Amino acid sequence: MQRLYDIFSFERIDLTFSKLDFWLFFLAVMLLFSVLHKNKLVRSIYLVAVSLFFYYKTSGLSVFILIFTLLSNYGIGLSISAASRTFSRKALLATGIILNVLVLSYFKYAYFFTNSFNELFHTKYEVFNVISYFQNGFNTTGNHNIFEKLLLPAGVSFFTFSSIAYITDVYRKEVPPVKNLFHYSFFISFFPHLILGPIVRAKDFVPQISHEYHLEKEEFGWAVFQILKGLFKKLILADYIAVHFIDKVVDAPEAYPGFVSLIAILAYSLQIYGDFSGYTDMATGIARLMGFKLMKNFDSPYKSVSTADFWRRWHISLGSWWKNYLYIPLGGNRTGGFASIFTITIIFVFLFFITQWYFLSFVYIGLISVYLIILLLFPDYKKNIYRDINLLITMTVGGLWHNPNQNFVIWGVLNGIGLVIYNHWKKISPYENSNMWIARFWKILLTFSFITFTRIWFRVEGKDEPFEYLMHIIYAFNFSEGAFWLMFGTFTVPLILMIIGYFLHWLPESSEAALTRIFVKMPFAVQVFISCVFVVGIYQLVADTSKHFVYFSF
């Protein structure tokens, strides 16, 4: 009883999907949901209340940021739809986008801009922590240091992106505005996707709000299988391998030969996939148990045959968002111009603040000069130049979105360069359209190797440490049979799990589909028994392992 009291009290506790407390919370939510689901408006009101409470347990008073976002974008969406003049519609859309970006920027980039400004101009400005000021005003304990530092609200990027997509789609007349405030709030704040996505779009989710609730046995079995799969990915392929292998090696690479550091970064690719896709597997399963469908967010990304194919398979909802609301508005692969040049100028200014590399100004002038010369000499090549610039902008902004520091910028730029090179290479590649297994194997290996290489800047912290880590792999490789077996003996279990994880990932999709069908067709009692044994076994293995989801930081 005490545990249930803690879960439903206003004391903050961790309600992430990998915790037992969340599943007790979800069970209680479903019990009341089973009574209320027949009335669609009551169902929406109930799930909005549940989602706001869930968010409060995760992020405290930052729930008011979510409420502000819901109310403001609901009003802006209605106003855009009601406006008859094109100028008014554009002004309202611009206001909405700027408002959302300002909210996101305050929490993600306030310290970055302040520190960069202080370093550049030798000032001592401090970030005004409005959340701390607000909470201290209601604090009766006499402790006025509740928040010493501005904290990033969980999921702020994801519900902000969903909000921008909604008002943009209303402006484009791709969807009508949601008239009911509670239906709209439910669409944005539905707790399975609220924190880490997948990012939902109104045209996919809002029509489901009017549907009657139903859950067939096959849907129930599919949802449970997704949840079990997600728990396995998160707790075994991500957390266990990270705690017992990756963190130990990456945080102290000098203690191990270079080849061990290489294997650790290969393991990190599995960790981040298991961590993020595990969350979205559980989210889709939870949503389906409540009668709603969320989009598939990962499609076996390490089976990709090119960088372009990888970014179509990895975090599909975010990739689609970047494409629809940044890449295409810039001109996509068709055109470009002032918007592309203006955006890349802003990015260079931003990078100048991040790195304080003064030579960037010369790089920028050089790139623009080359750009103008090519346009003058080869006007037919203009389309390809615009496409390449727009790709680089999109991936660089993606890196900055993750974190405004040098490492994530390099990661984004590297992936942008990879996309640009592939777009040119595929025109002359001798095996681009080959169906031979050796060609497919080579393309998958090359793509996976490149993506894993860029992950060095994603995982290793510090300005110089990623380069040092890479140099350690190269110059201190020191591979020998004895060193290999010593490493394997030290990290036996996590390395075996890593091999199993990649083996399962690279199995044909038909294998997973067959396993899903087998589980779905089992009697309900057998499904429950298998689920209980599976969950107990996993939690026994990872009893000393617990890590937050990686993308909670973004």
Catalytic residues: 402
The b-or-e profile of 10-25 (16+ CB within 10 A means b, else e) is: eeeeebbbbeebbbbb
Any idea what DSSP says for residue 315?
A: S
Residues 238 and 274: beta-carbon distance below 8 Å: yes
CB burial of 476-502 (b: ≥16 within 10 Å; e: otherwise) equals eeeeeeeeeeebeeebeebbebbeebb
Distance CA 292, CA 289 (A): 7
* DSSP three-state, residue 140: coil
Q: How far apart are CA 361 and CA 345, in angstroms?
A: 10
- Alpha-carbon distances of 33 from 27, 45, 311, rounded to whole Å: 10, 11, 37
Beta carbons of 161 and 202 less than 8 angstroms apart:
no
Tokens at residue 99, please? 């408002």
Give the torsion through C-alpha atoms of 500, 502, 505, 511, to 10 deg. Answer: -40
CA–CA separation, 242 and 251 (whole Å): 11
Chain-centroid distance of CA 551 in Å reads 6
CB contact at 8 A, 168 and 93: yes
Of 322, 301, 309, nearest in space to 233 by CA:
301
- First-last CA distance in the chain: 35
Rounded Cα distance between 433 and 428, Å, is: 11
Query: Could you tell me the CA-to-CA distances from 518 to 286, 462, 522 in Å, in that order?
Result: 20, 47, 7
Spatial CA neighbour of 396 closest among 381, 379, 408:
408
Nearest CA-CA partner of 17 in 258, 204, 287, 271: 287
